[in-house]
């Protein structure tokens, strides 16, 4: 929910756009003139940083998300900023086949919600850590990667303005986005400006755009597998609770997938036992009461970390612990585990961190080395790491012909066997956007998750 201050900022932003429309060319000329000046990089510390602002007038001074700038730091590639509130006018997109000069930096943009009701700082840390690791080793094909990483603070107008600013500043591509509010409407912007998106949160439209590549499984696969798996565990009267996407089509497809999963095992999911929640819902007592009174003997959930804590608290108050299949965030370090969570099934399209393979442990150790006690290790961190890894693999495959058109061509033929160590085989092929359609399950035991199935794949709509 927006605060009065945020509403005021949004109103001012709308007013500024109206003024820009009236003043037209005069204002645009002024903006372009300002853009020719040496920029001041403003970094807003989030995630416990107290909102302190650090400014540096030196171009190229870089810092980790949520940290002060350290001039001269080795291997750092990220400029983190929460602004601008209103970005420069976006110029026409450059030709798709414009070739990057030999040795020129590859500018990559990302918007990650690092402050707000849902926090994806772990994704930002992982994407940054991966690119820093690559740059320390000499870059890719003689090019260093320069990552412009911004925080939309879970605010769509802010994120849209940031995307415009990055395009105006000449980003080659976007990668490592984890900003659901901004991404929910980003596809038309990508297509107008011909900017590829290599890895993101995964909103419905992104799975159907020729300019975006999403490596997480869609709700179609999550829903079908979670529904069928709960039915296999003996659930006869199921329920479903999820955070609404605030988009009718996306929510309808999510529900349809869960119903299909239960139906495949002869079980019916009733509309009366399907609950869509808002991310800021303060208590889940009403949900628990509803499920308990309706005789729900097992339910599936797609919630965020803080929502899972509130759900567990409500279950404990009413001593209600039916079979439960949750998403990957149920075992996020910020979710408070207890003996009551033992037995919960956890669905994931990425490897579990506990007991993870060598690639997963490389992600963990690299991020911890970069961030120390501030490192956030979780599912979204894995996503940010894989997004960066796929982008680097695509750049390597382009050789000396680094163009946006070639990036799209290479992505459509990339080798995805083994899922870069984190997922099932990723399916890259021309026109295909159902890249990851497999889910595996674990079970919580003593607060840790243990794998109980291998990848379960299906052909559900995405």
Please state whether beta strands 438-445 and 456-457 pair in parallel, antiparallel, or not at all (unpaired).
Answer: antiparallel
The owner of tokens 């080798």 is 415
> In angstroms, rounded to a whole number, what is the distance separating the alpha carbons of residues 158 and 290?
37
pLDDT of residue 96: 85
**Rounded mean pLDDT of the chain?**
83
pLDDT of residue 95: 52
Is pLDDT above 80 for 79?
no
Among 389, 394, 433, residue whose Cα is nearest residue 411: 394
Indicate the helix (H) or strand (E) that contains 107. Answer: strand 106-111
Among 50, 12, 1, 43, residue whose Cα is nearest residue 161: 12
Residue 183 burial (CB count, 10 A): 28
- Relative orientation angle of helices 121-136 and 379-398, to the nearest 10 degrees: 40
pLDDT of residue 74: 33
At 408, is the secondary structure helix, strand, or coil?
helix
pLDDT of residue 441: 98
What are the tokens at 368? Answer: 């911890």
pLDDT of residue 58: 29
Whether the Cβ atoms of residue 408 and residue 429 lie closer than 8 Å to each other: no
pLDDT of residue 386: 98
> In angstroms, rounded to a whole number, what is the distance separating the alpha carbons of residues 274 and 249?
16
Residue 103 burial (CB count, 10 A): 10
What are the tokens at 174? Answer: 């976007």
pLDDT of residue 157: 95
> In angstroms, rounded to a whole number, what is the distance separating the alpha carbons of residues 177 and 112?
5
- What count of Cα atoms within 13 Å lies in the side-chain half-sphere of residue 139? 15
22-63 tens-digit pLDDT: 333 333 333 233 333 322 222 222 333 222 222 222 233 333
265-285 tens-digit pLDDT: 999 999 999 999 988 888 999
């Amino acid at each position: 929910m927006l605060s009065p201050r945020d509403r005021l900022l949004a109103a001012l932003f709308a007013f500024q756009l109206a003024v820009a429309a009236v003043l037209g060319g005069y204002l645009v000329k002024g903006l372009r003139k300002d853009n020719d000046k040496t920029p001041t990089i403003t970094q807003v510390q989030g995630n416990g940083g107290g909102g302190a602002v650090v400014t540096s007038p030196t171009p190229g001074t870089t810092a980790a998300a949520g940290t002060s700038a350290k001039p001269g730091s080795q291997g750092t590639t990220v400029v983190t900023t929460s602004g601008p509130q209103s970005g420069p006018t976006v110029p026409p997109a450059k030709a798709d086949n414009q070739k990057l000069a030999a040795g020129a930096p590859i500018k990559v943009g990302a918007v990650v919600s690092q402050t707000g009701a849902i926090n994806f700082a772990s994704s930002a840390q992982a994407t940054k850590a991966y690119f820093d690791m690559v740059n320390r080793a000499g870059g890719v094909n003689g090019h260093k990667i320069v990552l412009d990483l911004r925080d939309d603070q879970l605010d769509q107008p802010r994120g849209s303005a940031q995307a415009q600013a990055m395009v105006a500043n000449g980003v080659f591509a976007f990668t490592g986005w984890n900003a659901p509010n901004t991404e929910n409407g980003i596809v038309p912007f990508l297509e107008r400006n011909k900017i590829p998106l290599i890895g993101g949160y995964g909103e419905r439209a992104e799975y159907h755009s020729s300019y975006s590549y999403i490596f997480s499984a869609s709700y179609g696969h999550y829903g079908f597998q979670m529904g069928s798996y709960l039915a296999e565990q003996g659930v006869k009267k199921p329920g479903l609770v999820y955070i609404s996407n605030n988009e009718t089509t996306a929510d309808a497809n999510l529900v349809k997938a869960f119903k299909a999963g239960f139906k495949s095992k002869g079980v019916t999911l009733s509309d009366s036992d399907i609950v869509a929640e808002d991310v800021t819902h303060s208590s889940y007592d009403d949900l628990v009461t509803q499920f308990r009174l309706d005789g729900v003997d097992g339910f599936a959930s797609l919630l965020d970390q803080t929502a899972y804590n509130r759900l567990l608290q409500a279950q404990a108050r009413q001593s209600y612990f039916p079979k439960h299949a949750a998403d990957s965030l149920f075992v996020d370090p910020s979710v408070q585990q207890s003996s009551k969570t033992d037995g919960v099934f956890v669905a994931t399209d990425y490897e579990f961190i506990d007991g993870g393979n060598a690639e997963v442990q490389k992600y963990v150790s690299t991020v911890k080395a970069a961030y120390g006690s501030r490192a956030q290790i979780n599912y979204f961190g894995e996503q940010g790491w894989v997004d960066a890894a796929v982008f680097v693999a695509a750049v390597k495959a382009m050789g000396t012909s680094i163009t946006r058109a070639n990036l799209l061509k290479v992505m459509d033929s990339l080798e995805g066997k083994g899922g870069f160590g984190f997922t099932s085989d990723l399916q890259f092929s021309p026109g295909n956007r159902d890249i990851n359609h497999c889910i595996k399950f674990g079970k919580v035991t003593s607060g840790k998750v243990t794998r109980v199935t291998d990848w379960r794949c299906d052909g559900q709509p995405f």
